[in-house]
Structure 1
Amino acid sequence: MKFIHAADLHLDTPFANIKNFSKQLQNDLRRSTYTAATKVFDTAIKEKVDFVILAGDTYDNTDRSLNAQDFLKNQFLHLKENDIKVYLIYGNHDYYRNDFSTIDFPENVFIFHDQPETFELTTHDGKKVGLTGFSYYQRHIDQQVINDYPIRGNFDYQIGILHGGIGDNNYAPFTVPELIAKGYDYWALGHIHKRQILNQNPYVIYPGDTQGRNPNETGQKGFYLVTVLNQQTTLDFIPSSSYLFEQKRIVAQSSDNLASLTTEIGRQLEVDVPTLFTYQVESAQVLDQEVVAAIQRGDLIQHFERQQSNGYLYQLKLKFSQTKQLQEIDAKYWQDSAKQVFDLDDIKDLDAKLYSIDVIREHLNDPDFLDEIKDQTINLINQQFIGDKQ
C-alpha cells in the first residue's frame, strides 16, 4: 500500500514584496503553489499510490478562486483515470462556507464534513483502510475535536487526518498522547508549515507546506510518500518547492560602503536553486549615514533586481545594535515604560473595527507579535546613533 500525505498547498497565495521583480519572476512566484501541487499529483501517478491525503488549507482562502478549483478538478480527474482516490479536509484558511461557488469534484474525491467521520477503502494489495477526519466550517475551532474521533475500528490500517495545533486553542487543539490513544497507525496532520515528525510509532507527522510563502518559511518544502509493507510504515520526503526562501546575516564594519556590501551579497547570491534571500545587516549603527540612507531607500535591492542569477535579494533589513548611549539609560525606566506602552489589550483597543478583521486579529494574537514590536522599537532607538564606532 502506498499513499501521499500533503498539506497546506495554499493555492493562490498572494506573494508580498515582489512588485519590483520582473514580470516573469512575479508570475512564476504566483504560479509556484500550483507548480508544487502538480508535483504532488504527478508523484501520485508515477508511484501508483492508492490515495492522496490533503490535510487542510489546499486553498489560500475560503473564496476559492475558480482557477484553483478548475486546476484541482483537472488534477483529480487525472488521478481518477489512474484509480487513485483523494481524501480532503478543509482547514482554517479554506474552511467550508457554502456551495454557491463550488465546482463539483469527481467521485474519487472524498471531502470530510464538520464532524469527525470515517471513510473506508480497500487498497490494491487488499488492505482494508479507514481514514478519519473533519473539515473546518469556520476560521477558528477552539473545541478539542480530537475527543470526538473514534477509537480504532476494525481495519488493517487506520489513518487520522487533523488540521490543528498542539495546545493551540484557536485551531482544534490536541496533544500527541491524545492522538496515540486512539490506536491509529498514522496521523496525517496539517496547519504547521514546518516539517515535523512528532512521533514514530505510530507516525504523527506535519509534512509542512509544499511551497514556502514568505521569508520565515525557509528551506526545501514538500510532502511525504508513505509505503506500508508487512505492517511496516516507511517515509520518503519528496521536495516540491520551485523557489526557496533563505535568511542570511552580515555583520557590518565601519569601513563598509555600498561597493563592499554589494560584493559580499552578490557572492552569496550565486546559487544553483532559485532562492529568495532575506539579508539582515547587523551592527548597522557603525555604517556611514549615507550608506544607511541608500539601503533604506532600496538602492541595493534595485541593483540586484537587474542581475541575472538564481539568487534574488528579497529583503534587506538593517539591525541597529545596542550602543553605549542606550546602555546608559536606566534599565528600570525602560522596563517600567515598556510594560505600559506594550500592553496588548491597549493595542487591541486602539481600533476595534480593525481588530474585528480576521487576518489582523490573527496577527495581533500571534505570540511573537509583542516581541517583534519591542525589537523594532529598540532598533529605531539604536538607529539614532548611526556612525557610533564602539
Structure 2
Amino acid sequence: MPGESFRFIHASDFHLENPLSDLDALPPHLRDAMADAPRRAASAVFEAALVDNIDFLVLSGDLLNPQTAGPHGMSLLLDYFDKLHAKKKPVFWTAGIVDDPARWPDAVPLPPNVTLFPKNRAIMVPVERAGRTIAMVVGRSSDGRNVLHVPSYRVDPTDHYTVAVGYGDAEAKALAEGRFDFWALGGQHNRTEIEGGADSGAVYCGTPQGRCLDEDGAHGYSTVDVDADGTTRVHAIECDTFRYVDIRITAEEIAAVGGIRNIIGEKIVRAQHEAGGRHLIVGFDVSIASGETIQSVGDVEELLTWVRREYGHGTPSAWTARINVRAPRQFPKQWTDEDTILGDFLRAAEKHRATEGRDMNLLPFTEEQPGLPSTTQSLLAEVASDQRTAVLGEATLLGVELLRGGKPNLVKSS
C-alpha cells in the first residue's frame, strides 16, 4: 500500500566542544572565524531543518559534551530545538559517546518535540503529519561501545517506511539484518555510504565541519527524500565554512612546472576553485624522489612563510598548516660512497633501514639529557614498531641536510 512522500534531514557529529585543530598557531585575521566555524556549521543544519518542506530532523550522536561545550554550546541546541518545536517539527536524537544522556543536566529539560533515545533499548516512534503517520523512526543511544549493536534494534514489524538511527561502526551485512528502509548513522566524521546496508540506503553523513587534515574534503549533512512508493534519494549538502585540504606533491610535478613554489600555487588555486569560496586549511605532503631534489624544495620554514604570505591573507584565505617532506628511499650513490662523515652517516642509515630500525637504540641519547623523567626517557627510547621507518627517514633527511651545510627541514617524513 503506497504511503506519503516526505523529506527529512540527517546530521551528526557536531562536536561543539571541539575547536579546529592541526594548527601550530591561530592566524589573527582568521581567529574569530575559526572559533565560530563548528557553531556556524551546526546552525546551518538547523536552519535547513526549519524550512517548510522538511518534516523531521534525525541526529546520530556526538553533538556535544555538555560539560566541555558549556552553556554556549547547549544554548545553541536548545534554541534551535525550541524553534523546531514552534514549527511542530520532531527531532530524533540518538546519542553517541560524547553526548551520553547521563551527561545532560537534569535541570535543563528538552522540549517535547525532541526524542532522545534511551541507552538500554531501542524504541520506535511514529512521525505524523496532518494526523497521519508518514514514517517510523527507531533508535537507541550508544551504550559506550564504538560498534553499533544491530540485534538490539529488534522491533515489531510495520508497513510504514522505517528510519533506523544508530551510532558506531557497522558493516553492510550486519546492518542488512535489521531489515530497515534507511540507516541514519553517526560516529564517523567523513561521509560514507554503505552499499547493501539497507533497502534504501545506509549513510554516515559525517561531521558538518571538518577539524583536521584527516577530515579533509567537503563536510555537511544529508537531506533524504522519500516518495510515496518508498523510492529514496539522498543528497549530500555542504555546510562547512573552513575546508581542510591534504595536498600531495611529487618530485615529477615539481620538475614539470619549474619549481616547488609554482606547483604549490597551482594546487592552492585549484583547491580554492573546488571549495567554492570557503576558507582552506592546507597541508602539503612533498615526496622527494632522490637526494638531488632536496635543493628544489629548499628551506621549509622559508617556504611556509612564503605560502602563508601569498595565499593565507586573501578572501577567502588558504592558510597552510604544514609542509611535510618525505625522505627519499635512496640518496645518491656518490654521497653514500664518499669517504666523509656524510658517507659514514648514510651507510649507517642504510644499515638501519635494512633491518627496518629494529636494532635502533636511542636510550644513550636520552641519558645525555640529565633530569628527564624515566617515563619520558622510555617514550623517547622505545620507538613504536609502526613508526620506526618514518622516524629513521626523518632523521636521515635531517642529518643529510646538516652534513651538506644546508638549513635543516624540521618536518615529518612519514
Name the TM-score class by shorter chain. Answer: 0.7 to 0.9
**1: distance between equivalents of 2:122 and 2:308?**
53
* Structure with the higher helix share, 1 or 2: 2
Paired with 2:47 and 2:104, the residues of 1 have a C-alpha distance of 28
* Compared CA separation, residues 124 and 374, structure 1 to 2 (3 A): farther
Alignment correspondent of 2:137: 131
Q: Which moved more, 1:238-247 or 1:18-27?
A: 18-27
Larger radius of gyration: 2
**Residues 1:197 and 2:193 aligned together:** yes
CA distance in 2, matches of 1:187, 1:336: 45
Residue number in structure 1 paired with 2:215: 217
Q: How does 1:265-284 map to 2 (within 5 A)?
A: 265-270=264-269, 271-272=272-273, 273=277, 274-283=279-288
Match of 1:164 among 160, 164, 168: 168
Deviations 1:290-312 (A, max 9, x none): 9336349x534653476425222
Alpha-carbon separation, structure 2, partners of 1:194 and 1:24: 28
SS in 2 for 1:384: helix
CA distance in 2, matches of 1:228, 1:122: 13
Q: Provide the secondary structure at the position in 2 that maps to 1:130.
A: strand
**Residue matched to 1:73:** 78
SS at match of 1:216: helix
How far did 1:337 drift? 1.1
Report how far residue 239 of structure 1 moved.
1.0
Match of 1:241 in 2: 240
Given that 1:5 and 1:55 are in contact with CA atoms closer than 8 Å, whether structure 2 keeps it comes out as yes
Q: Which residue of 1 aligns with 2:340?
A: none
SS of the aligned residue for 2:19 comes to coil
Q: For the structure 1 residues 91 and 5, does the alpha-carbon distance in structure 2 shift closer, same or farther, using more than 3 Å as the test?
A: same
Distance 1:20 1:179, change over 3 A: closer
Of the structure 1 ranges 183-192 and 120-129, higher mean CA displacement relative to structure 2 is found in 120-129
Tell me by how many angstroms 1:155 deviates.
Answer: 4.5
- SS of the residue 1:26 aligns to: helix
Residues 246 and 284 of structure 2 are in contact (CA less than 8 Å); yes or no, is this contact kept in structure 1?
yes
Aligned to 2:37: 32
Instruction: Name the TM-score, length of structure 1 as normaliser.
Output: 0.77
Partner of 1:287, secondary structure, is: helix
Provide the C-alpha distance between the structure 2 equivalents of 1:219 and 1:142, rounded to a whole number of angstroms. 24
Q: Structure 1 pair 251/19, CA: closer, same or farther in 2 (3 Å)?
A: closer
CA contact (8 A) 1:61 1:94 kept: yes
Deviates more, 1:219-228 or 1:151-160: 151-160
Q: 1:183 corresponds to which residue?
A: 179
Q: Is the Cα contact below 8 Å between 1:119 and 1:130 reproduced in 2? A: yes
Report the TM-score when normalising by structure 2.
0.73
- Name which of structure 1's ranges 27-36 and 40-49 shifts more when overlaid on structure 2: 40-49
Deviation at 1:225, TM superposition (A): 0.7
CA positional deviation for 1:8: 0.9
- 1:69 is displaced (CA, Å) by 0.5
Residue deviations 1:279-335 (CA, integer Å, cap 9, x gap): 122218533499336349x53465347642522212211222122456983578514
**8 Å Cα contact 1:13-1:30 kept in structure 2:** no
Amino acid at match of 1:8: D
SS at match of 2:49: helix
Partner of 2:102, secondary structure, is coil
1:362-373 mapped onto 2 (5 Å cutoff): 371=386
The 5-angstrom pairing of residues 317-332 of structure 1 reads 317-324=324-331, 325=336, 329-330=350-351
Q: 1:308 to 1:370 in 2, by over 3 A?
A: farther
Residue type of the alignment partner of 2:397: N
The aligned counterpart of 1:232 is: 231
Aligned mates of 2:150, 2:361 — CA distance in 1: 39
Which AA in structure 1 matches 2:325? L
Alpha-carbon separation, structure 2, partners of 1:370 and 1:206: 32
Matched-pair identity in %: 18
Deviation string for 1:103-158 (max 9, x for gaps)?
322111110111232242233263353322222354xx167632221145324121
- Which has the higher mean CA deviation after the structures are superposed, 305-314 or 330-339? 330-339
Letter in 1 for 2:215: E
Q: Could you tell me how far apart the structure 2 residues matched to 1:102 and 1:208 are? A: 30
2:205 corresponds to = 207
Q: What residue number does 2:412 align with?
A: none
Q: Please tell me the residue identity of whatever aligns with 1:223.
A: Y
SS at match of 1:224: strand
Using the TM superposition, name which of 211-220 and 142-151 deviates more.
142-151
Contact 1:4–1:225 (CA under 8 A) maintained in structure 2:
yes
User: Who is 1:366 aligned against?
Assistant: none
Contact kept? 1:12, 1:30, Cα under 8 Å: no
Q: Does the CA contact (< 8 Å) of 2:357 and 2:388 recur in 1?
A: no
Aligned twin of 2:321:
314
Q: Specify the SS of the correspondent of 2:214.
A: coil
Unpaired runs of 5+ residues, structure 1, are 167-174, 342-349, 356-368
Shift of 1:60: 5.7
* Displacement of 1:82: 1.5
Against the structure 1 CA distance between its residues 32 and 152, is the aligned structure 2 distance closer, same or farther, given a 3 Å change threshold?
A: farther
Letter in structure 1 aligned against 2:305: D
1:26, 1:377 → 2: CA distance? 36
Amino acid at match of 2:153: Y
Query: How far apart are residue 51 of structure 1 and its match?
Result: 1.1
Residue pair 1:219, 1:246 contacting (<8 A) in 2 also: yes
Pairwise mapping of residues 106-121 of structure 1 onto structure 2 (< 5 A)? 106-121=111-126
Contact 1:69 1:103 (8 Å CA) reproduced? no
* Distance 1:43-1:315 versus aligned 2 partners, 3 A rule: same
User: Judging changes above 3 Å, is the alpha-carbon distance between structure 1 residues 142 and 30 closer, same or farther for their aligned structure 2 residues?
Assistant: closer
SS in 1 for 2:14: coil
